[in-house]
Amino acid sequence: MFCLPVRQKVILKSGYRSHLIKMNRLKHVWRSQIVRQSFIDYFKNQQKHQFVPSSSVIPKKGEGTYFTNAGMNQFRPLFLGAVPPGSVMADYKRVVNSQKCIRVGGKHNDLDDVGHDLSHHTFFEMLGNWSFGDYFKKEACNMAYKLLTEVYRLPPHRLYFTYFSGEKSLNLLPDEECRTIWLELGIPNNQILPFGMKDNFWDMGETGPCGPCTEIHYDHIGKGGGASLVNTGSAEVVEIWNLVFMQYNRESEQCLRKLTNQHVDTGMGLERMCAVLHGTKSNYRTDLFTPLFDTIHKISKVPVYGDKVGKDDTTGFDTAYRILADHTRMITATIADGLLPDRVGLGSKVRHVMHRAIQQSIDVFHCDKTLLLALVDQVSNSLGETYPEIAKNNQKIKDVISLTEDNYKRNIEKGTKAFNKMMNREGDINKLTGNMMYELHDGRYGYHVPIDLILDLAAERNLQVDEVEFESILQSKKDGSGHTPDLAADKQTLNADVLEKLRCDGITTDDSYKYRYTSKDKEYEFENVQGITIKGMICNRVLTKRLEEGTTGFVIVDKTNFYAENGGQSSDNGQIITKTGQGHITDVQMYKGHILHNVKVTQGHLLVDDDAQLLLNQDARKNHMMNHTATHLLNSAIKKILVDAQQNGSDIQADKLSFDLTSVGTLSLENIGKIEDTVKHCIQDSCTVDRQVMSLAQAMNIPGVVSLQNEVYPDEVSVIKIGDDVSTELCCGTHVTNTRDIVDFCITKLSGVSQGKKRVTCVTGDRATQAAKNKTLLEEKYKQLENNIKSLHRSQTWTQDVKDIYKMLRLELLPKVTRDVYQVEVDQLQSVIRTELNKQMAKHITQLVESELSTEFDKNIKIITTLPTNDIKLVVKSIKDVEISKPIILMSVQHISPSLILICLPYKSKDFHSKLKKSAIPGKISQVSSTGDRDIYSIINKTLPSSDNLQQIQNTLTNLIMNNR
């Protein structure tokens, strides 16, 4: 075996030791902020890249249902060639950024691995540079190598470079171009390694842009021989950068075509790069995490973090350290971007991660919410400068965590109680079936137990669980009657062939006429559009020249004043008339830039190229305008009460509006009243409503401008300004020209959609006025009933009067505050009525029995068949003080259901109860009282007895009593 001379061995060891000393020194220089900024500055200043801020971790509309998990997500339109003309993105050539990423759920889900090793995270930062049709492989590789070796000063001998080895089934040759580039940069041949599709070919999806990639790996050992560890999952040699060359478009699994424009997409994980520059194999041994660990140690007093994993982590503290620190970063980033814990969607992922963090804090570190709140401050200190939204929302994040921890503790208590109830019912089991889990989750045992708590409780009891069956049941329930359909998903879309034909024929619609209207004294005049021509029609997803009577299809005209559903506002409706026919326009949608009028032909037929007249339903449009402007006033008013309130969306119909918001604060009845009054004052102040069109960049620079987070706005937007400083919002909807035209406003409902989410429902105009009238009527009815009760007047109508008031509260249009206040008042009043009527009834029963007993009767048994109630307790209480010397039988009047028979014996009887049960008398038989020298028995029968049966029952009871003496 070949051996190095001793002298050379010493030199090598000395060199390695020097490297470690150097790296140890560098970790004080290469703080995460410097690593991140050095990357950005290098590409900005030396390579002429444009810096684009990180997008939200919450996907925008149309970007899917998973968190942002890669730097390229916000640039998908560029890769797909779907950038709208005039978009700011259209000018991107060279871009650099640091992107917040989350991998929880979906294809890339690192949640279960976090804590159990030194490299996985739910939240991480991806440093990246992009070229969109500008430079390609040679420049990208040169830039990467220069950054690593000259800026970060990594030793070249520690770097390994992979390239695509080809794929015969796709006729893809090895990427020798990439290999040659690395060789020309001076990389030794043994540090350039080929790999196949799995490691070195990147796809955006099942179809779309794709291409080979080259990965750069770092060797922590540095002694040579690291090549064998590349792409093996070893912690000794780790990937630090991936450069993707998008040069193909995948049309199917086996069909790739070369792209006209080739792109570069690179990604470097900040956490791993910081670890490399700190001279450690652990991502958790850098300043991104050590301040968090110090805080945990300081507050919990547990041993300091030791970076141990698996069996070496004998106490489990190091694993818990990593879970808690990682999860706090993820929670902080998501809440800062506007996402709150929820039972569904991405919010459920946040909720699950928060519960895991809270569990670690409570169960492992034995700390209350103080620990998590302190960790949020540390995350804000670490990331707040780079991502200002984190620093800005610091207090909101802590408020959400505080509220969630309180809810979590209640969940544990109630969920455990429900779980135990289920276990008592099921008996000795070793597995939870999917159905058992669903029943727990659905509230069968008195509480809706979160799935993560079900899994934890099952684990504590060593129970197996069938998650697959549970998910299947859950999905089937969603797809069934309990699922609220996504209305947008039900809208028809145009297939690629139709879209291409419309594009080639240059068919477009000018819908600017929707904004052309004038007003005077609350009356609106909408411009009648002249010279309209039908340019295209689609029926059953196919272009057609003719729509026959009775059929429904999309009609595209060259100009329209109809509003297509957008920005939360429902579409207009009306009629279309041509020389050959007419139809109802039931809906208007915008799809891929085309305005689609959904028409049901009611007479004759419609033809392409015919002139048409569009008749707008002006009443519905005006109601939409009133409700949309009121929505802006409501948004402004809410933010004055709940400073952290954030709009989540709105639904503006002709008859009402609903407004969704997220807020940690609560909307008390007092606050609802204040919000309602604020909006009403704005209406009374007759504020002007102006619409201005400008670039998105200009609009976003307006002080105090309001926009929806994660909404995709075009590059030219409308800004709606109300008054001097009432409200300024980005909005494409239609509005009244003056707030006085809204006439009136009323909040009718407030519902909690989920934790932190609220939905406010309101009405305007005549409906708001009607709500005010209903309020007055309700108040009058209540006052009249209250006076009647106080004066004991018309007691025979009290019960019906209460029912009428409850019906108004349930069915009539009323202000939310009025409904809630009077619900409580009427509940209390009903209790007073019940007490008073019971007093009257008890007095009546006492008098009835005393009167009947004062008359002569046969067989020494008194039978009374005119009992006016079936309330057993009330009857027993009523005859408690009546002197009874002989048996009596009390029977409720025949129309009362269920019927009641009460047998009162003025003596003790040991076996009467058993004899009564053995008799043929139908109904539920019970002994209801046995006090002093008196026994009372009841018979309740849900079936009303006939006259003959009643007589038979009387005879049977009489014989039983007589024979029992």
Question: Which amino acids are annotated as binding site, given as ranges?
Answer: 628, 632, 731, 735
Report the b/e string of 158-181 with b at 16+ CB within 10 A: bbbbbbbbbeeeeebebbebbbeb
| Spatial CA neighbour of 286 closest among 639, 558, 34 | 34
Q: Which two tokens stand for residue 359?
A: 């569990």
- The one-letter code for the residue type at 657 is L
Return the bridge partners of 582, or none. 577, 603
- The one-letter code for the residue type at 752 is G
**Block residue for tokens 């408690």:** 880
Question: 590: which residues sit within 8 A by CB, 6+ positions away?
Answer: 564, 565, 566, 596
| Spatial CA neighbour of 132 closest among 54, 80, 200, 206 | 80
DSSP β-ladder status, 431-432 and 464-465: parallel
Q: Which two tokens stand for residue 924?
A: 């539920």
Residue 622: which H helix or E strand, with range? helix 618-641
- The one-letter code for the residue type at 599 is V
Say how far apart CA 376 and CA 539 lie, in whole Å: 55
Say how far apart CA 368 and CA 241 lie, in whole Å: 40
| Spatial CA neighbour of 735 closest among 626, 634, 620 | 626
Return the bridge partners of 258, or none. 248
What distances in angstroms separate CA 304 from CA 275, 311, 825, 852, one per listed residue?
19, 18, 58, 87
Say how far apart CA 180 and CA 812 lie, in whole Å: 78
DSSP 430: S
Cis peptide before 84 (omega within 30 of 0): no
Torsional sign, CA 317, 322, 325, 331: negative
DSSP β-ladder status, 50-51 and 94-102: parallel
End-to-end CA distance of the chain: 116
DSSP β-ladder status, 594-607 and 546-548: antiparallel
Q: Are 191 and 227 in contact (CB under 8 A)?
A: yes
Look at residue 465 and give its three-state secondary structure.
strand
| Spatial CA neighbour of 331 closest among 357, 301, 296 | 357
| Spatial CA neighbour of 175 closest among 149, 148, 197 | 197
Say how far apart CA 72 and CA 77 lie, in whole Å: 10
| Spatial CA neighbour of 653 closest among 733, 750, 713 | 733
Residue 425: which H helix or E strand, with range? helix 394-426
Look at residue 9 and give its three-state secondary structure.
helix
DSSP 944: P
Look at residue 692 and give its three-state secondary structure.
strand
Around Cβ 224, how many Cβ atoms within 10 Å? 12
Write out the E strands in 823-892. 862-867, 888-892
Please write down the HEC assignment for all residues of 133-157. Answer: CCCCHHHHHHHHHHHHHHHCCCCHH
Q: Are 816 and 782 in contact (CB under 8 A)?
A: no
DSSP 604: E
The binding site for Zn(2+) comprises: 628, 632, 731, 735
CA angle at residue 958 from 957 to 959, to 5 degrees? 90
Residue 318: which H helix or E strand, with range? helix 317-336
